[in-house]
Structure 1
Amino acid sequence: MSRRVLITGVTGQDGGYLAERLLAGGDEVVGTVRRPDGALAAAGLGHLEGRVTLLPADLLDAASVRRAIAEAQPDEIYHLAAPTFVPHSWEDPTEVTQAIVTGTAAVLAEAGARDGVRVLVATSSEIFGDAGVSPQDEDAPKRPRSPYGVAKLAAHGLVGTLRSRGDRFLVSAITFNHESPRRPERFLPRKVTAGVAAIAAGRADELTLGDQRAVRDWSHAKDVVAGMVLALRHDEPGDYVLASGVPHTVGDLVDAAFRAAGVERHVTGPDGQPRDRVLVDPRFVRPPEEWPPVGDPARARRVLGWRPEHDFEALVAEMVRADLERLGGAPGA
């Protein structure tokens, strides 16, 4: 059955992969961006020109969000648009909170005025924070440690509260870290893969990072958006953790990137002594987190039949290959 689908934030990492998946399945896709002119090409999604209809919407302008939904007349909404870089939430919690909470409220309100519209809201593992348990499932305590996490928890709460009335099909997708070659370099995994690719291509000699002991749960963005579709098209609405369930340290990420690039991390220096090509900046070293953000995807696997297709090593290798191609290099060059 073909559906008319609205994706907010369609030019983001997840939005692009989701649009491709839905179009391949025969759905009609409408996306929102702040400024439609040239937005797909600027995001590296020029191949979607003419296939995705773009509408203007700004999360800080609730009226524009509601207008976009009214014009799109969707059967389904995937609300992915939101600030994504957690550190920025400390600089201006006002704008981040307004964009996430008010934007989500506007989407849910306008969708609620239209019969039968299903809505998925992408929340975040940041809602758990100091949960007191790790890994975290949907019912783990939620004690966010950042303004971003607080705002995402409010959005998550809105979904649950409105759904509890029993007349709305609303889903909260609690996404843990997920990456791809489309991830901007301000995010750590792309910084690592781009840095190692530069070393392999002879463009750099070393890479500077912070604490390599930090633990994260990394998935491929393609797998996460596949889980979103399964969740929104299931028989019953609910909340779902979308994560690999496998913890890895930043050091694991670095080692996997060097393996994928086919170059040695440890080399002999000019003085004949072994040298690590990865330097540690003490300013970014923090004590290990007591409750690492690792997800428990058991519900999504059991209820939705969600089976991720990319493991950690394959994800890192894909990102390294893409960065090497960008630099004109090749593994082991």
Structure 2
Amino acid sequence: MTRRALITGITGQDGSYLAELLLNKGYEVHGIIRRASTFNTTRIDHLYVDPHTPGARLFLHFGDLVDGARLITLLSRIAPDEVYNLAAQSHVRVSFDEPEYTADTAGLGTVRLLEAVRHLDLNCRFYQASSSEMFGSSPPPQNEDTPFHPRSPYGVSKLFSYWTARNYREAYGLFTVNGILFNHESPRRGETFVTRKITRAVARIHAGLDRHLYLGNVDVVRDWGYAPEYVEGMWRMMHADAPDDYVLATGFGCSVREFLALAFAHVGLDWEEYVRFDDRYLRPTEIDAVIGNSSKAQSELGWKAQVLAPELTKIMVAADIRALELGGTPCIDRPTLPGWGVESR
């Protein structure tokens, strides 16, 4: 029997890779997208054809995590076997400017979705996208037992959702899992996130289109992995014998300064000649270092990160250079797959 999955945030980096993974595994995939005056489906455009094509297995529905009634309607109609909640206002710096909206989507949105699952009595498994930002100022390495100390409205909102998912597991017996993912990047990363901002700037500077890149704190340390590997970890969590919470990380720290050096080195440039400081990119409260310990995921799920920062920067810089050459955006870094469709209802 074909399994049916619902993905919130399907148009994002993780959502697009997860949709590809599930379709390759034979799933029927449904995604929720927000209605807007312009389309924001660039990352998944290659995945669907005419919705009336026989055998189409990708379907999109208008909805929003702030609209609980609509979520109930959609979940009742779709009746998914698996729900992956990836949607949120996910930019940490922006969360300081829009704390209420961040809390409404990243925090209360999870409550609305789980309440829909509970009230409809759906027999489904639920994945909650948690974040290393929940650890905040707790010293690395961080694992599933590390105390939480978030340092941003985004981190606080994600921590709310983390405990909500655990509470619904313990109170109502739902199969809910938390994937505590450390930073994971790809050519599909949004252009305002620091890694993609860097690799895109490298491509443009190398092509003579820009002269400088403006950044804030370059001394913070992050654990950067490759997004396609991390969505595989999500799927493995959902297919464990029992629901639990897992850290996914590479286990290696890399500062923004080191990431800059790696990225610029791929085109033979010295980053210090091109990068300028701009205090507008500083956060009111900063996290000095997050480095994850994913030994639990390795032992229980058989998951281990393979792509580390040096290879990651090479992948991303090459994609941004190619995008400039083609005059487009490097969102599509896997082949088009036939026989999928889209519908809005």
Fold shared, TM-score > 0.5 on shorter chain = yes
What residue in structure 1 maps to residue 223 of structure 2?
Answer: 217
- Deviation of the 1:246 alpha carbon: 0.7
Give a deviation string over 1:143-175, Cα, whole Å, max 9, x none: 111111111111000111121247221101111
Q: Which residue of 2 aligns with 1:89?
A: 95
Determine the structure 2 residue equivalent to 1:48.
Answer: 47
Write out aligned runs for 1:101-140 (5 A): 101-112=107-118, 113-131=120-138, 133-140=139-146
Q: Contact conserved, 2:16 with 2:43, CA < 8 A, in 1?
A: no
State the superposition RMSD in angstroms.
2.3
Distance in structure 2 (CA, Å) of the matches to 1:70 and 1:99:
21
Decide whether aligned partners of structure 1 residues 56 and 258 sit closer, same or farther in structure 2, where only a CA change above 3 A counts. Answer: same
Q: In 2 relative to 1, CA 125–58 (structure 1 residues): closer, same or farther, beyond 3 Å?
A: same
What is the aligned partner in structure 1 of residue 240 from structure 2?
234
AA aligned opposite 2:44: L
Q: Is the 8 A contact 2:89 2:101 kept in 1?
A: no
Q: Deviations over 1:103-135 (max 9, x none)?
A: 10121122223342100010111111122x211
Deviates more, 1:67-76 or 1:306-315: 306-315
CA gap 1:39/1:238 in 2 versus in 1, 3 angstroms: farther
The Cα of 1:202 is off from its aligned counterpart by: 1.9
Query: How far apart, CA to CA, are the structure 2 residues paired with 1:59 and 1:244?
Result: 30
Deviation at 1:62, TM superposition (A): 1.4
Describe the SS at the equivalent of 1:222: helix
Q: How far is 1:248 from its partner?
A: 0.2
Cα distance 1:288–1:11, how it changes in 2: closer, same or farther (>3 A)? closer
Deviation of 1:35 after TM superposition, in Å, equals: 2.1
Larger RCO, structures 1/2 (Cα 8 Å, 6+ apart): 2
Q: Secondary structure at the match of 1:110?
A: helix
The corresponding residue for 1:18 is: 18
1:271-306 alpha-carbon deviations (Å, 9 max, x no partner): xxxx72323335656899675121111111111000
- Percent identity between the two aligned chains: 40
In structure 2, how many angstroms separate the alpha carbons of the residues matched to 1:11 and 1:290? Answer: 28
Q: 1:313 to 1:144 in 2, by over 3 A?
A: same
The Cα shift of 1:264 comes to: 2.1
How high is the TM-score relative to the length of structure 2? 0.86
1:226-249 residue CA offsets vs partner (Å, 9 max, x unmatched): 100000111111001111111001
Secondary structure of the residue aligned to 1:44 is helix
Aligned amino acid, residue 316 of structure 2: M
Counterpart of 2:318?
A: 321
- State the partner residue of 2:337: none
Q: How far off is 1:136 after superposition?
A: 0.9
TM-score by length of 1: 0.89
The match for 1:156 among 143, 148, 162 is 162
Letter in 1 for 2:96: W
CA distance in 2: counterparts of 1:234 and 1:37, whole angstroms: 40
What is the deviation of 1:225?
A: 0.6
The answer for unaligned runs of 5 or more in structure 2 is 50-56, 327-345
- What is the distance in 1 between the residues matched to 2:88 and 2:77? 21
Q: What is the count of residue pairs matched by the alignment?
A: 318
Gaps of 5+ in 1: 267-274
